[in-house]
Amino acid sequence: MCLPVCPGWATMRAMGTTVGDSIRNRRKALGWTRARLAREACKSSGVPLDSLSKHDIHRYETGRRTPPDWLPALSAALGTSTATTRTTGRLEPTSFPEPLPVLHRVTAEQLAPTIRELNRRLVALDNELHGLPIAETAARAFRTVFRRLGEGLRDAHERDVQSAAAELAEIAGWACFNEGRPRESKRFSQEALFLAQRSGDRGIELLTLQNLALLAGWTGRAGEELSLTRSVLERGGLDPRVEAMFRCREGQGLERAGESRRSAQSFARARSLLQEAPPTDSPAWSWWVSEREVDRQQGRALNLTNRWDEALPILHRASDETAGHHVGYGLVSQVWLLDSLLSLRAWTEAETAAQTLVPAVTEISSRVTLGHLERVVSRDLSALPAALRDALEHVRTSLAEDSYGA
């Protein structure tokens, strides 16, 4: 005897399979384990990290269960829209513009996940092209959150909102630094540090301390940079990828302090740590800490201390757009490379490096990168070979162009 097929069950099963395929394909594209996705979805929802398990993810991916309650959080964690997750097995990135989350209207229960979604979107914007300017948006959003914290939240929500707000302040601090506003950068970073410590968010606390050390180094306070870095390293207990981040900061401080041998050891240790640190086991925010990032930081340190011969091979690797993760400030490696080539009077290679920069200059929003590039091309060009002089003049012209001009 044949039992009749239930259309409702078949429809649910088909929907579960589509959603499951979407979740699985996107998770694998990110290189995440099921346990990692479960944690990230919990973070997006602002709930305890054990609220969803890897076994739940397995059931969703295989179509044994459908995740209507968890679908927004899973979609946010995977970087796509809920509608896309429901309708495509490929889980393509959102193909239509979505407004940034609005913070002043959401309920206390939804405030933390809304802040986290805004944070995710701001980080994505910061890494578009050669870094879109996000400082003003991040700063305004943090002021809204700060006001809401001041008005008071129930204990059940306060710590999670503090943690999400700490991340937002950290993003604002980084963005202000990148846009050439060091005083504002320090202020937001200090707010981030305070909130991270209040909420017990060790990850954002560490990232903020790294940013404060970065700011100290870039503003000529190498001693403070090393002091902050060593205070973290001496405490120990760091994830290998996170320790690698601080070893790079240590290496930059040591190089500026004239301790080149010890600096080289710090960068070598950073590279070794990355070999020990599978990306899936490290904090989600540490995705940008890669071998290319180590090259970027060591190349800069060698360039600034006039060790141009040693900097060249490292900066060549750091400038390879096909290697490592894309970051919005990545083009700065090519600026340091051009500076080193000019300093070594390697005219032919310098011409190639300058020509590479010309079409990208108008897309750079980082004031840190632009400021260094302006210094590089402000040197006297009269004694240079004609072809190189023309290439550098093109860079100068691009820097001076009015963005709103015809």
Local confidence band at 121 (pLDDT 50, 70, 90 cut-offs): confident
Last residue of a domain, one of 19, 52, 75: 75
CA 353, chain centre distance (Å): 26
The predicted-structure confidence for 268-286, as pLDDT tens digits, reads as follows 999 999 988 665 667 888 8
- The rounded Cα 205 to chain-centroid distance in angstroms is 15
Residue 232 resides in a domain: no
| pLDDT tens string 82-94 | 555 555 444 444 4
What is the model's pLDDT at position 404? 57
Share of the chain above pLDDT 90, in %: 45
Half-sphere exposure of 236 (CA within 13 A, CB side): 0
Q: Say if 270 falls within a structural domain.
A: no
Q: Which CA distances in Å does 104 have to 81, 108, 138, 143, 171? A: 22, 10, 14, 10, 19
Domain-located, residue 107:
no
Residue 208, domain member (yes or no) = no
pLDDT band at 97 (very low <50, low <70, confident <90, very high): low
The region of weakest confidence among 97-101, 112-116, 193-197, 392-396 is 97-101
Tell me how far the alpha carbon of residue 311 is from its chain's centroid.
24
Residue 392 has pLDDT above 70, yes or no: yes
Lowest mean pLDDT among 17-26, 51-60, 88-97, 254-263: 88-97
Q: Does a structural domain hold residue 279?
A: no
- Boundary-marking domain end, from 75, 91, 124: 75
- CATH number, domain of 26, equals 1.10.260
* Most confident among 47-56, 214-223, 317-326 (mean pLDDT): 214-223
pLDDT tens, 209-222? 999 999 999 888 88
Predicted TM-score of the model (pTM): 0.73
Q: How far apart are CA 33 and CA 35, in angstroms?
A: 5
Q: How confident is the model at residue 344 (pLDDT cuts 50, 70, 90)?
A: very high
Mean pLDDT for all residues in the chain: 83
**What's the pLDDT at 14?**
38
pLDDT band at 56 (very low <50, low <70, confident <90, very high): confident
The pLDDT of residue 94 is 44
* 146/98: higher pLDDT: 146
Domain count, the chain: 2
Q: For residue 338, count other CB atoms closer than 10 A to its CB.
A: 28
109 domain-assigned = no
Q: Does residue 135 fall inside a structural domain?
A: no
Residue 334 has pLDDT above 50, yes or no: yes
The confidence score (pLDDT) of residue 280 equals 62
- Domain of 43 in residue numbering reads as 7-75
List residues bridging with 364 in a β-sheet: 130
Q: Which residue has the higher pLDDT, 43 or 307?
A: 307
Pick the last residue of a domain from 18, 51, 75: 75
Flag whether 21 is in a domain. Answer: yes
Is the Cα torsion angle 210, 216, 222, 227 positive or negative in sign?
A: negative
